[in-house]
Chain A
Amino acid sequence: MAILGSGAVYSRLTEVDADGNVTAGLAESWEASPDAAVWTFQLRKGVEFHNGKPFTAEDVIASIDHHRGEDSKSPIKQIVDPILTMEAPDPHTVVITLDGGNADFAFLLFDYHLCMMPSDAIGQGIGTGGYMVDSFEPGVRAVAKRNPNYFKGDSRAHFDSIELINMVDPAARSNALLSGGVDFIAQADLKTLKRLSAAPGVVINEQPGTKHFMFQMITTQDPFTDNHVREALKYAVDRQSILDKVLVGHGQIGNDQPIGPANRYHDPNLAQRPYDPDKARFHLKKAGMEDLSVDLATSDGAFVGAVDMAVLFRESAAPAGINVEVDRVPGDGYWSDIWRKRAFCASYSSGRATEDWILSSSYLSGVPWNATQWGNEAFDKLLVAARTELDDAKRREMYGEMQRLISQDGGVIAPIFTNHVEAHNEKLAHDDVGTVMEMDSGLLIERWWFS
């Protein structure tokens, strides 16, 4: 029900529109120092929280501080850790100083955890958003009604009231939509989507996502230390067949790097690696091998479909002289016992809204989430330089180069990105849909309306 918090009840300092541009939220405008390390935000005036408290700079500082500190268990520790100081020279200005430059900082503030709350009532369901919480039972249901005092006026938040119901079972969601009990369902069941979309009045909303499935090779362990072995394995994957069978076609083909079509700086010009058993054999020879046998640890506890993906890989790799031994392991404890421990295993990443975020957390040499222990000096230098580059065209070029480096040298085989697949009835209407996260970048409740 993060959607209720992020898109409806709370607002953030910035927003990201359907084209991926950062736009004004509770901050009207902002300015970065030339090294992108000091950010000054001008806050919107005259905004009130649901409890009547005026929104000011102290609320911004308290809301961000909520995720900081030594005992922080926040999943966005990575975003807030670089913050050195936060100052409020006047009630409607916030100056945030980072320990290094980050050209994406305004974009990162759109993360759904960074919602603005009143400094004296953190985490109590009080925000500045278009809807006010009526009732909330975690894991069951939430009801909210429109905030008459919304700072965006009548231009947004078009429903009089909204009700969110938690339905774990995919079939239950489909049934609820078909029987007219609900107007919209998230995460539609891919296996029965054809039937669902054939029903009268049902509309499918499908957007590319950043989540991707992977096989990860630890590049400091044999035989994966040799890039020819890694290349051979990458050429031995039939991506199309994995996309068709694991996601029933609802995704995008990946190119062994984590920046997908949903990302701003995705490089469509990076040549797509095809399924080519002959090339795979060629690289094996280069590595001094006639054939190769590798153990691949996998479990549906890693992600749903991981075992299928491994078996498909085994089938496509065989013609290249590569024997993939699929080792099915328990899902319990997968992330502590298998991931980062076994030399070759299935894994996934939800992806991240910005290129820097995912690359800095999982591909920079030596960081803890660099599960393949890949290290590449040229890449590391580019990454740090791109972080402070404010010229958009230059940045695009730099991220393109980084994608090429990971794809050609990295330790991940990333065959597919998943789509966000949702379904709704014809009563709902909307503009262009955002792709930062599911449900119109989480702003569905605020942006959509009844036609």
Chain B
Amino acid sequence: MTPAVKLILQRLLLGLVTLIVVSMVIFAAVEFLPGDLAEATLGQEATEETVAAIRRELGLDRPPVERYFVWLGNILQGDLGVSYANGRAITEIMGTRAQNTLFLAAMVAVIAVPIAVGLGIVAALYRNSFVDRFINLISLSAISIPEFLIAYLLIVTLSRSGLFPSFVVIDATTTLGTRIYQSILPALALTFVVSAHMMRMTRASIINVLSSAYVEMAHIKGAPRPKVIMAHALPNALAPIINVIAINLAWLVVGVVVVEVIFVYPGLGQLMVDSVAKRDIPVVQACSLFFASVYILLNLAADIGATLSNPRLRHAT
């Protein structure tokens, strides 16, 4: 077994353990909320009879540990339960929503990753020049502006003029073209936020590698500067870049709540906000678990990517 394979297996196992711990935390957190689920669902309208009826139906009269294992067991069989709000299967509701969110994330990734990595390389290449300073100024500004403000600025400029819709209406029958057209504003808002992070990280890691001994050697050898960066620095700077891209993609899936709400984008973030408001606890739990899985999986992917990009681990026997 190569060290790389061993590392990957270790990571996978760790990811699984993390996921189980997270599932416990989610379940416990909901359990510790003041008032029980029946009361939370009915709120002020609760009467003893209706609360008891809901408790009976949901099996809330049974002990928490038992309920946790039933819940976990069902999830392992692919059954996320049923929404309180509308009685539909959560797997069904979340399926379309997750597709929409992943579509948006993919659209942002397609726009943002090349821009960010490209600008990062350019900035590193012309370090401390006017170009570098300009790119930094833009990206620092983009990081500093909260995404809701960017979203509203986009709406005021591009939507009030009638160019793009201010809210998104998509379903299974929407064509790809319409989907892309409708999703442009939320995608742009998110691009602003994630590109800056990725660009800053690309620039920093390349500069970091540029100061190492083997790059100096390459210089001394007389290799031209662009070649030094592309052939010597970039491959060695890949690990941290992959890491930051993965984390930003994870953020795209998990953290788009605000942007989804503003643009009425029918994704998971909006589903979660609605479900929290309605106290639709099973949906909140399922969404939390999905978000946790995405985070863990993308971090895992980043770790594996970094491992594979490390020549020492890749080539050892």
Please report A residues at the B interface, Cβ cutoff 8 Å: 70-75, 77, 135, 137-141, 163, 165-169, 171-172, 175-176, 178-181, 330, 332-333, 335-337, 339, 347-349, 368-369
**Contact A335-B35, Cβ < 8 Å, known A72-B53, A137-B171, A175-B167:** yes
B residues 27-59 with Cβ under 8 Å of A?
33-36, 39-40, 43-50, 53-54, 56-57
Q: Does B152 contact A (CB under 8 A)?
A: yes
A77 to B48, CA, bound (A): 12
- Pick the contact of A179 from B48, B165, B169, B266 — CB < 8 Å? B165
* Least Cβ–Cβ distance between A299 and chain B, in angstroms: 11
Count class of interface residues, chain B: 35 or more
Contact A180 B47, beta carbon cutoff 8 Å: no
Contact A72 B50, beta carbon cutoff 8 Å: yes
Contact B34 A172, beta carbon cutoff 8 Å: no
Minimal Cβ-Cβ distance residue in B for A368: B47
Q: In the complex, what residues of B have CB within 8 A of residue A135's CB?
A: 171
* Least Cβ–Cβ distance between B263 and chain A, in angstroms: 7
List 27 A-B pairs, Cβ < 8 Å: A70-B53, A71-B53, A71-B57, A73-B50, A77-B47, A138-B83, A138-B85, A139-B86, A140-B266, A165-B169, A168-B270, A168-B273, A168-B274, A169-B264, A171-B262, A175-B155, A181-B165, A181-B167, A332-B34, A332-B35, A333-B40, A335-B44, A336-B34, A336-B36, A337-B35, A339-B44, A349-B44
Q: In the complex, what residues of B have CB within 8 A of residue A330's CB?
A: 34
Closest 4 pairs between A and B when the two form their complex, measured CB to CB: A333-B34, A336-B35, A333-B35, A138-B86
Contact B167 A176, beta carbon cutoff 8 Å: yes
- Pick the contact of A337 from B34, B53, B266 — CB < 8 Å? B34
Please report B residues at the A interface, Cβ cutoff 8 Å: 33-36, 39-40, 43-50, 53-54, 56-57, 83, 85-86, 88, 93, 96, 152, 155, 159-160, 162, 165-167, 169, 171, 261-264, 266, 270-271, 273-274, 277
Contact A172 B160, beta carbon cutoff 8 Å: no
* Least Cβ–Cβ distance between A255 and chain B, in angstroms: 22
Contact A175 B166, beta carbon cutoff 8 Å: yes
Q: In the complex, what residues of B have CB within 8 A of residue A333's CB?
A: 33-35, 39-40
- Pick the contact of A139 from B33, B48, B167, B271 — CB < 8 Å? B271
- Pick the contact of B167 from A70, A74, A167 — CB < 8 Å? A167
- Pick the contact of B264 from A71, A77, A165 — CB < 8 Å? A165
Q: In the complex, what residues of A have CB within 8 A of residue B50's CB?
A: 72-75, 77
* Least Cβ–Cβ distance between B185 and chain A, in angstroms: 10
Contact A141 B169, beta carbon cutoff 8 Å: yes
* Least Cβ–Cβ distance between B7 and chain A, in angstroms: 42
* Least Cβ–Cβ distance between B180 and chain A, in angstroms: 18
* Least Cβ–Cβ distance between B193 and chain A, in angstroms: 18
